[in-house]
Chain A
Amino acid sequence: MRALRLVPLLLLLASVDAFAAFDADLVLVYGSKPARLLPAYAAAAQAPQKGTDATAWLPPVVAWREGEEAWTQALVRAIAPKKTVWIAPPDVPADALEIPGRVQRIVAGDADLGLAIAEAAFSPSDKPRAVWVSEADAASAIAAAALAATERSPLLVANGSLEATTHAAATLAERLGAKEVVVVGRTDQGRLASQLGAKVRVLAPEDALRAQRNAVRGTDHLVLVAPADAKGPFSPPRLSLASVPYVLAKGAALAYVGEGAGGGRTPEEATVALEAEGVGRFDFVTLVGDWLAIPLREVQDVDQVARGVETSRVHKIPPFVDLEGRPSDRAVGRLAALDVYDLSRWVARIVHGVGDDADGVLVFANAHDKFILGETISRTTSAELANAGVPVRSFYRGEITRERIEAELPRHALVLWEGHPTDLTLGDDALPAPQRPLPPSTVFLQGCYTMDRADPFVLVERGANAVLGTYMAVYSSSGSAFARAYVNAQIHGGATAGQALASARNYLLALVELKKRRGFTDWRKTLRAALSFDLWGDPEAQAPVSFRRPKQSPVTARLQGNRLSVRIPAGALPLAEAGPYQASVRPGGALAGLYNFIEDENGKVVGRRLSELFFVEVRLPESFGDAPVLEAPYPASTYAWIFSPRTRTLSLIVHEEALPAPGTAATLQFTVRPAG
């Protein structure tokens, strides 16, 4: 009987022109119900482009609803589609969005929409291998969508009874000539098969995930998703649903974390467990979910605890960072947005490079006129970028006004904000981000608690592609030094966003070791800064601006045998001055809150000169073991290192006191040997 009820719908759909697997530039889906959104992913999937890691190619699939029109419209304008597929229930006004080009409208109630999507996208000539069916829960549906899209087969997600949906799938399979119906869920295979009289295979959600990972064996990218964020009261954001096109585009392995289907696993536990099973070696890890779905670890302030503060503050820290200061050895990013609508647009921007063109760097530093030391370092970062041929507009202190922020923010591909976060706020909780969309920029919010605010969500909503910031208080010198190290890793190391984050973190961790060697007792403040920074964005993303070969040569390092040479060039960047501070640094060089007093001829202190530091990273062969030791003919207080056995990266920091004289060119020689 159920099959008979579907006949009118099938006849209706047969009269609709079918694009082969949604041969479209854009798919717009109203709402975020799994039964609507996930079949759209499967229906939009095409064979991956050659030379990519992707397991399927999808046009941008964007979820939207009331309240999202402005930003959705901006994305539609940027994509400028020639062919769009519109998926919506009947009561959604067709003119809610202005869509150029040809529009194929798939309009049906929730009971029929999944089938309507499949029918519109697939025909017998496509010869799909199977028709996939999923239970309504997100854990089953996400895995099923990833598998169905990978093999370019249709997917139906149960909107009510799984049996009824499976019946519909069997009818569809027969019409399309598919060999089987694959059901993802916890149901009885034998009973379903006998009811349907068709070939049915049932996969438990965890088996479906395993199958997905088998399909991408060898990938170095793991995507961790929390399907629990798709259900329950209090406006669940459903970010997990929008992970599917990202997973497919990256050719990444998929695993669940958090409550429910995630088994309560943390990102670290899930990653290590999969690697222990031999599933992969994951150098890139992307978390899809906010900190409610994928919680951040909370720790007591390492500095306050050491100082014996009775009620020390509790901070969130990003995943894969170590409280003891062990090196960062994975490129990690988080895709967190206010809801699935914002995330679906963000994924479209990440995967398809969609967005208004913008170039150059915008630097806002020290708007409060309080962080002079940080401003000094920031000025050298601007100079570093300019040395790499990047147009830079830098503003300091009183030059930073709300009007200027609103005018400049949308024009730049990399925005570096250095200072107290309230400077950026409107009222006290939102950026004065202009009402117009932002380009797909990277926004580095270098200040205290910048990720604990509305700012990153607002930036992502309006078009930013990456936001970096902190979950705790950081001193301006450490924070600006971190930002400088991040930029250096991209300019001189070609690092992706996640790699640059790890490199900058390792810079501060090496600085901690150097401070210990120099007898500074405040090293925990630097450690706190090293623990605090996080990336919201794709860890594989390349730098948002193009760099040219630096006009002045940078600091470099080379390993030959067991000899590590660090070459310090003669030419420095322009002298940076702010208040009593000044800094002269070679390209690729580093800075921190270490300085000497400048005295006049009478011995009176007239300024402070930041000590120049040099930070390099090299890969060591296995022969050096897991705890290599460095030796050099320089005082022990002039250099320090950390080493990651996992990546075999040696991160070395050298103080200018190792040079024959400050500011001179030199090639510093180190000997590397295994421990013992």
Chain B
Amino acid sequence: MSGARLPLLAALGVAFVFALDQGAAQSGERPGPAAPKEWVRKVRLSVRVEGDGRDAYLELPLVPTDAHQALVEESLETRGFAVEFVEREGNRLAIVTHPAFEGKKRITYEFTVKVQPTRVEVPRVPVAADEPPREDWLWLRPTKQLQSASPLIREKIVSFARPRLAAGDDDALRIAWDLVQTGYRPKADGSRTVLKATRTGHAAPRGQERLFATFLRTSGVPARPVLGIDLARKVRTRSTMWVEAKVDGTWIPFSASRGLWGELPPRFLKLAHGDRPFIVREGIASLSYRWKVSRPEEVPEVVEP
């Protein structure tokens, strides 16, 4: 299978997001006409893969549709790789495989998206003391980069939160946010992992995001890093990260490194969430990728089913 087109999925996704959008507008959570307008962009991801004879396996995230963004159309050219589309933990993934892969090949993923600004009133969430519901555990458990059960992390947040809890302030989101903002020195080349950042006291932007998600998990608030791209950046490496926290059943965006509290500008496009690499790979000798973002000449009309 050399390629796949997913127009139906895209149309369904857009319909879903429009429905969500309308509901949100009615509830008054959306900003008024003064908010920035939506962005429409055509994006191409080129992945160069080199094999060394092993069975190659890649997990490529595909753009999801949600309240922030709508996938208009997409295509995936896999050039000799087999591809299977799956959904895992809320991520749309293309599983790309090739037995005994040797040589170099390029995989191209092109899509058009509409992205609009998101701004949400963030409710207060008390720090949890009980066992969480089973359905939330996936986004609460410690993972490789979100070591929320580490005594080092618990020590950090317990000592920070103790006086606030004693004063009656038990807002888990604010405690975690303020700890990242005040307890770590932002540094472009600082620590990207939470334990090292906690030991050194400085954190790179990615480290700040991971710290926020980690402290939320420690506090009993389901949280996950979001892997995305910055559509506005003029550089080849557009990959970026922010955080989503689940509050009252809704995932709300935050970015501790950018000071974005419950909001996400349209320049940020989500690709996947969770503590995972952007492209999961096995049996690959080397892999590189680049993004190209452009304004589409014409965006296809979306029809409600």
Contacts and interface: CB of A to CB of B under 8 A. Distances in A.
Interface of A: 31-33, 65-67, 91-92, 231-235, 237, 290-292, 336, 338-339, 427-430, 452-454, 457
A454 B150 contact: yes
A229 to B, nearest CB: 10
User: For the complex, would chain A's binding face be called helix, strand, loop or mixed by DSSP majority?
Assistant: loop
B98 interface: no
Contacts of A338: 142, 149-150
Contact of A234 (B145, B157, B196): B157
B52 to A, nearest CB: 13
B129 interface: yes
Contacts of B149: 235, 237, 338-339
Given A65-B137, A234-B127, A429 B147 contact: yes
B218 A234 contact: yes
A334 to B, nearest CB: 12
Contacts of A291: 151, 155
Interface string B147-171: 1111110110110010001000010
27 contacts: A32-B131, A33-B131, A66-B134, A66-B141, A67-B137, A67-B141, A67-B142, A232-B129, A233-B129, A233-B219, A234-B161, A234-B218, A235-B148, A235-B217, A237-B151, A291-B155, A292-B155, A338-B150, A339-B149, A428-B193, A428-B195, A428-B196, A430-B144, A452-B152, A452-B199, A454-B195, A457-B150
Contacts of A427: 145, 192-193
Interface in B10-33: none
B208 interface: no
B97 interface: no
Given A32-B131, A66-B141, A457-B150, 6 more contacts: A233-B165, A235-B154, A291-B151, A427-B192, A452-B199, A454-B195
A234 B57 CA distance: 38
Interface of B: 127-129, 131, 134, 137-138, 141-142, 144-145, 147-152, 154-155, 157-158, 161, 165, 170, 191-196, 199, 217-220
The residue in A235, A291, A427, A453 that gathers the most chain B C-beta atoms within 10 A of its C-beta is A235
B278 to A, nearest CB: 15
The residue in B137, B151, B155, B194 that gathers the most chain A C-beta atoms within 10 A of its C-beta is B151
A432 to B, nearest CB: 11
Given A65-B137, A235-B220, A427-B145, A453 B195 contact: yes
B150 A231 contact: no
B134 A233 contact: no
Contacts of B219: 233-235
Contact of B193 (A32, A237, A339, A429): A429
A232 B161 CA distance: 12
A292 B127 contact: no
A308 B199 CA distance: 24
B82 to A, nearest CB: 24
A338 B152 CA distance: 11
Contacts of A231: 129
A185 to B, nearest CB: 20
Contacts of B138: 66-67
A290 B155 CA distance: 11
B191 A233 contact: no
A31 B127 contact: no
B193 A91 contact: no
Contacts of A237: 149, 151, 154
Nearest to A66: B137
Contacts of B191: 428
Contacts of A457: 150
A605 B175 CA distance: 62
B210 to A, nearest CB: 11
Contacts of B128: 233
Contacts of A428: 191-193, 195-196
B59 to A, nearest CB: 15
Contact of A31 (B131, B170, B199, B220): B131
Contacts of B147: 429, 454
Nearest to B199: A452
